Structure 1
């Protein structure tokens, strides 16, 4: 495993004038920055269409992609949009106003389909037809789901007309026949995303940058998969969850985290060899080079919470599918699956045994490790001197405070011990954290963009246990200085993390 390093940045956080980061020119400029800084990895959050409170961990599909990431500039360059279509309202530059951006952008995507119909050549039309055929196993269900969701003012599927919510075949056929353009628009949007994504991935590869994707273990209740296959999930007769996912009280919350995702009926998924999981992982591995599996511990055992509970306190552990699921994945996709196991939280011996049997790298978070230095004894497995090679070390994750924000909230005694550990005056603590990650024996070292920029708590991506102000952070182009690339390149070279030349 080649030593490498990189940056955690969701594409929505990229700069630009159109209200949200996307796959266009700013994404390529970021790839150029990574290459100049000697970074071989770009890690992202899940790329699916977001639902509840705009969280990428509550996607409305496990296969579809987020339309808001489509670059309107690239569509303009194809002639499918006009310059006037890119005249945007006065969107904020340093955060995403999803409520304003989404309807404005969807309207332009509909215009782009009209432009495609008027301007596209024979090859482009053939590519669209081929995409629809190749991806039909998920695309048809998703197109119908999201067209119906739009028709019902974006309400959850359990609030639709009963015959549609319960998937009466005659009702679905009748509705589909009367809404062919809406269904075609959803297929077109996904075609455009995957085309732009393929181009961006090829560009990243040409610059020596590999992409790390993120796959949540659970799916959102209001999603195409739960509506299409309710038999896979623990639901009542009305389609509402009987039990939901979360975690017990932990570092982030004294009442635990009540995520709200419906729980799988793993015995049902096993009946056809876990085909849903096989296709899910196959699809994301066609898009990225490495996949981080969120909440890996849930495969060993997951926290089951009665849906009637208001917090996660009164849940209990239930055995997960364990090795049986991964044997099915390996049989279908190959033995050497390029995965990172997110093994944070309440980790028990069975979780470690599953991770190690699969020979997967786990995760270490420096912030958690440095908390252990409160008493001056460096015993945490997350501290660099205890790292192993088969590991991905992070200064922090999307769920953590920024390194500077975390530091500013620490007591003086802990700060003093951290300074001793890092042999630093801690005047640039975010760079100290980055250096510690780069110098680790862990094969992969990653840090959020906020840490590279030295930003405080206001730049957090997510604050677990809170409902507002998450997932919206963006950086401005003027924040990224050439000197940062030079400094990061020098550090990465010193610690043997420069990527191999692009092939």
Structure 2
């Protein structure tokens, strides 16, 4: 079945609370997708963000981002008064997320909502705590201790707090009970709204694709509470960290800084942590995209303390030993593999052996700096793949045409039959139509490309900090006219949702 969808992170939705949320605008966007004949909404990770505001560097691999909790919905539930949040500073521009303003004000508002929630707990509150007992108490305590330590990394805490253990955890949880209760209640509020939004989308025939970042942040509850999962020394300092080697796009490579996994330990435990993580996310989303899939074949290890990624080395990952276990616990069709980057024959074999669909990026097909560009030409896409014009790490189509090397642009214009009279909007739609016409079973368009925006709307420029993850759509841009245009092309290329055939009822005797 051929399908089409849109990549649009929650943070980028319009609204009056400084960042996109799970409120009315999210439901309006689902309605837009339905009108446009789309069957997929792809998101970035919905986890809490840490320094740098990246959803790929979170305090927890299981928790939800409190910024996405819609305050108007809390007011409707009697947990807030509108006067408690409407006049606060949520940032100066509706086109950009001001994470500083959110950091200063969001928690204060949520504390008021939580105080009312805890005075009259809903019937399902303790059920929620029990269902998430394997991660929620540790997360809540971790966040409480971060507050107590002024936001410092757990590596800088005193030994009593830094060295996770059952006796210390019990004692500290009681000492900071009020804050622990707060962070647990915030997660209840997040997942209540998330569950309702997902059901609304699913009831309209729209699946949600979410992300599973391969790595976790060093400053996370995962590394603090389970140091045995990672390559840490006796002082819990990383031996090496994650990243990517230099390539045609980055002379220094990418230094991500995440702790690397101790794969020998994971193997001994039957990959228990990984199985729990993947199963959890396949319940949170309809489909999970595993980020940096090639890292399971071999991963790039950079000495801790290095300032660039130049001096790393490749080391062997778990390969099919992990995914043979996953296949026994996760239903088929639930996983997409992000197989971009430096690919080898062994990475390609791993993808083939798993049976997961890989990813194809149309921009890469024309880039003269990429030696693998031919495999990204649309006629080469296998049916079992997911095709994109670009991802959150790429330029927009408009931005790419404006700044890519001239040889690359010339090739794209010739291949796509673009002439000098075509407008920016024409070029965008020609590119997107080429993607939808490809053999790929699923094609995904970015919201920015649908709106014909330039690189001012780019979500992320890898290896940079300060201006990423901030783009927001303005109210009213996802119009009925745009929905109809997208629907027409989706139908043209055989990607409209397939309605079940009507079976006449037998007449009652």
Instruction: Identify whether the pair has TM-score above 0.5, normalized to the shorter chain.
Output: yes
- Counterparts in 2 of 1:423 and 1:23: CA distance versus 1, 3 Å: same
Unaligned runs of 5+ in 2: 502-509
Alignment of 1:122-137 (within 5 A): 124=122, 126-137=123-134
- Give the Cα separation in 1 of the matches to 2:406 and 2:268: 56
- Give 1:338 shift: 1.4
CA contact (8 A) 2:337 2:356 kept: yes
Q: CA RMSD in A?
A: 1.9
Q: Residues 203-241 of structure 1: CA distance to partner in whole angstroms, max 9, x if unpaired?
A: 001111110000011111011111001111111222221
- Counterparts in 2 of 1:379 and 1:227: CA distance versus 1, 3 Å: closer
- Give the Cα separation in 1 of the matches to 2:163 and 2:447: 44
- Counterparts in 2 of 1:373 and 1:117: CA distance versus 1, 3 Å: closer
Map of 1:481 onto structure 2: 479
CA contact (8 A) 1:15 1:93 kept: yes
- Give 1:409 shift: 1.0
**How many residues get paired?**
495
CA contact (8 A) 1:70 1:193 kept: yes
Aligned with residue 253 of structure 2, among 234, 238, 256: 256
CA contact (8 A) 1:113 1:185 kept: yes
- Give the Cα separation in 2 of the matches to 1:71 and 1:501: 33
Map of 2:505 onto structure 1: none
Q: Could you tell which deviates more after superposition, 89-98 or 204-213? A: 89-98
- Give 1:132 shift: 0.3
- Give 1:331 shift: 2.1
- 1:464 equivalent in alignment to 2:462: yes
Q: Residues 78-124 of structure 1: CA distance to partner in whole angstroms, max 9, x if unpaired?
A: 1111121231325221111111112311111111112223455xxx2
Map of 1:17 onto structure 2: 16
- Counterparts in 2 of 1:361 and 1:170: CA distance versus 1, 3 Å: closer
Alignment of 1:293-332 (within 5 A): 293-332=290-329
Aligned with residue 364 of structure 2, among 364, 368, 386: 368
- Counterparts in 2 of 1:75 and 1:258: CA distance versus 1, 3 Å: same
- Give 1:412 shift: 4.7
CA contact (8 A) 1:293 1:341 kept: yes
- Give the Cα separation in 1 of the matches to 2:235 and 2:33: 49
- 1:200 equivalent in alignment to 2:201: no
CA contact (8 A) 1:403 1:451 kept: yes
- Give 1:370 shift: 1.7
Map of 1:108 onto structure 2: 109
- Counterparts in 2 of 1:451 and 1:242: CA distance versus 1, 3 Å: same
Q: For 2:284, what is the secondary structure of its paired residue?
A: coil
- 1:400 equivalent in alignment to 2:394: yes
Map of 1:212 onto structure 2: 209
- 1:279 equivalent in alignment to 2:276: yes
Q: Residues 20-73 of structure 1: CA distance to partner in whole angstroms, max 9, x if unpaired?
A: 101111100010111111111111111111112111111111111111111111
Q: Residues 383-411 of structure 1: CA distance to partner in whole angstroms, max 9, x if unpaired?
A: 11111101111000100011100100135
Map of 1:269 onto structure 2: 266
Unaligned runs of 5+ in 1: none
Q: For 2:109, what is the secondary structure of its paired residue?
A: helix
Alignment of 1:351-430 (within 5 A): 351-372=347-368, 380-425=374-419, 426-427=422-423, 428-430=426-428
Q: Could you tell which deviates more after superposition, 158-167 or 493-502? A: 493-502
- 1:439 equivalent in alignment to 2:433: no
Map of 1:232 onto structure 2: 229
Map of 2:506 onto structure 1: none
- Counterparts in 2 of 1:168 and 1:381: CA distance versus 1, 3 Å: closer
- Give the Cα separation in 2 of the matches to 1:412 and 1:243: 39
CA contact (8 A) 1:13 1:473 kept: yes
CA contact (8 A) 2:243 2:302 kept: yes
Map of 1:42 onto structure 2: 41
CA contact (8 A) 1:208 1:500 kept: no
Map of 1:97 onto structure 2: 98
- Give the Cα separation in 2 of the matches to 1:420 and 1:453: 24
Q: For 2:465, what is the secondary structure of its paired residue?
A: coil
- Counterparts in 2 of 1:395 and 1:162: CA distance versus 1, 3 Å: same
- Give 1:364 shift: 0.7
